[in-house]
Amino acid sequence: MRIEDSQAFGESKRVKFERHIEIDCPNQSTVDLLSAATRLPKAAIKQAMTKGAVWLSRGSATQRIRRADKALRAGDQLHIYYDEQVLQQQPAEAILIADEGDYSIWHKPYGMLSQGSKWGDHCTINRWVEKGLQPQRPAFVTHRLDRAATGLMVIAHRKKVAAYFAEQFRLRKVGKNYQAVVHGRFPDAKTIDTPVGQKPALSHASRISYDAGTDESLLEVVIETGRKHQIRRHLAEAGFPVVGDRLFGITADQTGRDLCLSSCHLSFLAPHDGMRKTYTLPQELRPLFPCPAHTAPS
């Protein structure tokens, strides 16, 4: 057994390290090997495996392993990416909107991730779906929402269906409508075409309502491109940052609210019969407007 070590400690002295173990003898216990290499209790190793922090390289393939009794072969390589802070995070609760068999529609809550990292995947929506949807099925993310954004997401349960949706999103054949609460009185309608990351980006925003007491507007936003943070960037650059946006918003924002941006409407042709399917986020899951705690008295 050969161990490669990489270790780091943040300002809070939290435990964060990675280990890479070459397997030279078959039929060794995964948990025993990792516990000896890291000096972590076996219970902590099993928890890290369950939460997606342990990987196995075999030949040209590397994938997560979760089973404590996974059989090892000579020539395998084990990897553990242990970040105490990541592993202690608790996933928020996603809500099933519709189960269509080969795919399902979910409400992704604030803080839930669209994609995991080598340090774990237990706070991702696909892992939540894999563990919670009955009957259990594989879960493939077909598009993404920012960690701070909420709303509708399509999760595929077969690779062929995942590829279909990925192509539909790439070709911009999926209708996507968002709602956002922004600071200021937004115009009746505005199209924003500022490039994002040096790539063309196009957003259409229209005002649904305005609250003078908070000086905030509720918008409907339709995007024709899907650049990273596109809506947040475009609205902030236009002078109307999204309420609760701690990345592109107002530094002195004292609202204390989470990001008020949600994917509220999805429309596409179903993968099997080509019928138009439309899904709408229930009102109670959309950004609250106006916020009662900030509404001016009448």
The amino acid sitting at 135 is P
Say how far apart CA 48 and CA 36 lie, in whole Å.
15
Say how far apart CA 70 and CA 282 lie, in whole Å.
43
Say how far apart CA 97 and CA 153 lie, in whole Å.
9
* pLDDT value of residue 255: 64
pLDDT higher than threshold 80 for residue 84: yes
The amino acid sitting at 240 is F
Strand partners, 216: 183, 211
**Structure confidence at residue 9 as a pLDDT band (50, 70, 90):** very low
* pLDDT value of residue 124: 97
Q: pLDDT per residue over 219-246, tens digit each?
A: 999 998 889 999 999 999 999 999 999 8
* pLDDT value of residue 296: 47
- Mean pLDDT, residues 285-289: 93
* pLDDT value of residue 10: 46
Higher-confidence residue of 82 and 293: namely 82
* pLDDT value of residue 135: 95
* pLDDT value of residue 236: 95
- Write b or e for each residue in 31-40: b if 16 or more Cβ atoms lie within 10 A of its Cβ, otherwise e: bebbbebbeb
Q: pLDDT per residue over 147-180, tens digit each?
A: 999 999 999 999 999 999 999 999 999 999 999 9
**Structure confidence at residue 284 as a pLDDT band (50, 70, 90):** very high
> The tokens 């229930």 sit on which residue?
282
* pLDDT value of residue 209: 97
Delimit the CATH 3.10.290 region(s) of the chain.
2-88
Chain CA centroid to CA 26, Å: 37
Fold that domain 2-88 belongs to in CATH: 3.10.290
Q: What is the 3-state secondary structure (H, E, C) of the chain?
A: CEEEEEEEECCCCCEEEEEEEECCCCCCCHHHHHHHHHCCCHHHHHHHHHCCCEEEEECCEEEECCCCCCCCCCCCEEEEEEEHHHHHCCCCCCEEEEECCCEEEEEECCCCECCCECCECCCEHHHHHHHHCCCCCCCEECCCCCCCCEEEEEEECCHHHHHHHHHHHHCCCCEEEEEEEEECCCCCEEEECCCECCECCCEEEEEEEEECCCCEEEEEEEECCCCCCHHHHHHHHCCCCECCCCCCCCCCCCCCCCCCEEEEEEEEECCCCCCEEEEECCHHHCCCCCCHHHCCCC
pLDDT higher than threshold 90 for residue 207: yes
- Mean pLDDT, residues 179-193: 96
Say how far apart CA 153 and CA 151 lie, in whole Å.
7
Fold that domain 175-263+289-294 belongs to in CATH: Pseudouridine synthase (3.30.2350)
**Structure confidence at residue 75 as a pLDDT band (50, 70, 90):** very high
Strand partners, 107: 95, 152
* pLDDT value of residue 2: 53
- Mean pLDDT, residues 97-117: 97
Q: pLDDT per residue over 11-69, tens digit each?
A: 456 799 999 999 988 778 899 999 999 999 999 999 999 999 999 999 999 999 999 88
pLDDT higher than threshold 80 for residue 8: no
* pLDDT value of residue 256: 77
Delimit the CATH 3.30.2350.10 region(s) of the chain.
95-171, 175-263+289-294
- Is 141:154 a contact under the CB 8 Å cutoff? no
* pLDDT value of residue 69: 87
146 is catalytic: yes
Q: pLDDT per residue over 245-276, tens digit each?
A: 988 987 655 567 899 999 999 999 999 999 99
* pLDDT value of residue 28: 82
Torsion 182-220-193-197 (CA) sign: positive
Which residue in 146, 193, 215, 245 is the catalytic one?
A: 146
pLDDT higher than threshold 60 for residue 287: yes
pLDDT higher than threshold 50 for residue 297: no
Task: Provide CATH code, domain 95-171.
Answer: 3.30.2350.10
For the chain, the straight-line distance linking the first and the last C-alpha, in angstroms and rounded, comes to 73
- Is 123:91 a contact under the CB 8 Å cutoff? yes
